[in-house]
Amino acid sequence: MQEPPRSYVLCGTPRTGSTLLCSLLYSTGVLGRPESYFREPDEVAWAARFGLATEGGRVQDYRAFVNAAHGAGASDNGVFGVRIMWGSLERVIEGLGGVPGEYDLPILEEALGPLTFVHLRREDIAAQAVSWCRAEQTGHWQRGDAIARAPHQDVARARVLTGTIREHNAAWRAWFEANGIEPHTVTYEQLVGDRQRVVQGIAAKLAVELPSGWRPRSPHRKQADGLNRVWADALRRSMGR
């Protein structure tokens, strides 16, 4: 019987609870140390942490970079996790010497080993767009980020982001289909509703046993407030919903 993949990719779009999920998976001690290792704006910072040379805002040896990320993202039992947003995938494929859209899965698995894909999405796209827009305004994407400025309702920008979210969700679905992948799907709503069940589901996909007594704990908390709700309602009205 074939062993299940020991590596996984969290595939998503911003504001789907991926930071919360990453922290929960990390907290198990057996489901890797998932981070956005391949987010292009952070490539130089990660390269510096890995002790790798960069030039022109990019790492010089991308395969060495991926190998270093694989080591950083693996828990002691060898399970590796990474978070990749749709906008980052092309850079990873190109960096590994491939042409995006051609044999993507073999290129990724040659570098990272057999992979399980977890598709993280949000049912309430209006709420997601508002959360994304607010994070852009304030600079507060997750716990620990300083708030650079106060948020304000911007329905026009949120509508643009709604379109971006739909495009990226569709792009992920098309990519999975093109590569013959059946992802394990998790919604934001499932995650905030039952964290333990979501983590257990991912562990089961990887055939990893969670430590006895493990309970979901994370420093990350839901950031939405009354402004988000009013803003999302205004966005829905503007779209005739």
pLDDT digits (tens, 9 = 90+) for 220-232: 555 556 788 998 8
Q: Are 117 and 44 contacting, i.e. CB atoms less than 8 angstroms apart?
A: no
pLDDT digits (tens, 9 = 90+) for 187-212: 999 999 999 999 999 999 999 999 99
At 63, give phi and psi (nearest 5°).
Answer: -65, -40
d(CA 116, CA 71): 17
Greatest alpha-carbon pair distance for the chain in Å reads 56
Delimit the domains of the chain by residue range.
Answer: 7-124+176-220
Architecture of the domain made up of 7-124+176-220: 3-Layer(aba) Sandwich (3.40)
pLDDT reading at 2 higher than 60: no
Mean pLDDT of 113-122: 97
Is residue 240 very low, low, confident or very high in pLDDT (cuts 50, 70, 90)? Answer: confident
Mean pLDDT of 99-126: 94
* pLDDT value, residue 219: 60
Q: Are 9 and 119 contacting, i.e. CB atoms less than 8 angstroms apart?
A: no
pLDDT digits (tens, 9 = 90+) for 150-174: 888 899 999 999 999 999 999 999 9
